[in-house]
Amino acid sequence: MQLPKYKKKKRIKLKICQYCGKEFWGHPIAKYCELHRDVKQREKTKKSPEPGDVNNRTYSHDFIEVVEENWICELDSCGKSYVVKVFPKQYVYPRFCEEHRNEFRRRNWIRQKLIEELRKTRAAAVKAAAPKVAATKPATKSSASSSKTLVKDASPKAGSEAKETKPKTSKKATEVKSE
């Protein structure tokens, strides 16, 4: 039999019990203190059941046969109509249309509506600010375009006008240029 050459060190850390919050020394994957490691010592917490009326509608009726009815989705700003088969002796039916039966889809729908409202308000704010900016921009464009024309007139490519606008130089400078 082979014996290990080194002694395995114990990895013990200061942990917090997830049940009572008391600090204890234990292995890194330990969740509970010594008292609550036994399941019998931990009280089981049951989640309270969700009431059935949250996502469903209670519809009391006296029908003997299966009847199809058109209902309107109760989600804010949806308003789509959907068909529900009403069965005898059954009183709980869906409150939302087929697109919004899922909790995620309902939250996503509400989130998208809020985003659309924000976009509309921002677009209205931009439109309100746009005439003020548009009134000032043409004046700056015309002044910029007039300054460009002045620069063009002063350029040597402009022809005879550019030569006339140049300041006169001394005779020596003109002789050097002609040679």
The tens digit of pLDDT for each residue in 95-111 reads: 888 888 888 988 998 89
22 and 77 part of one domain: no
Tokens of 94: 């869906």
Is the overall model pTM greater than 0.85, yes or no?
Answer: no
- Does one domain contain both 63 and 127? yes
* Whether residue 70 is found in the same domain as residue 122: yes
| Domain span including residue 20 | 10-37
Q: 36 — phi, psi (to 5°)?
A: -95, 5
88 shares its domain with 30: no
Is residue 177, in this structure, part of any structural domain at all? no
Give residue-wise pLDDT tens across range 70-81: 999 888 878 899
Instruction: Tell me the CA distances in angstroms from 82 to 43, 69, 73, 126, 178, one per residue in order.
Output: 45, 8, 7, 39, 93
pLDDT at 133 over 70: no
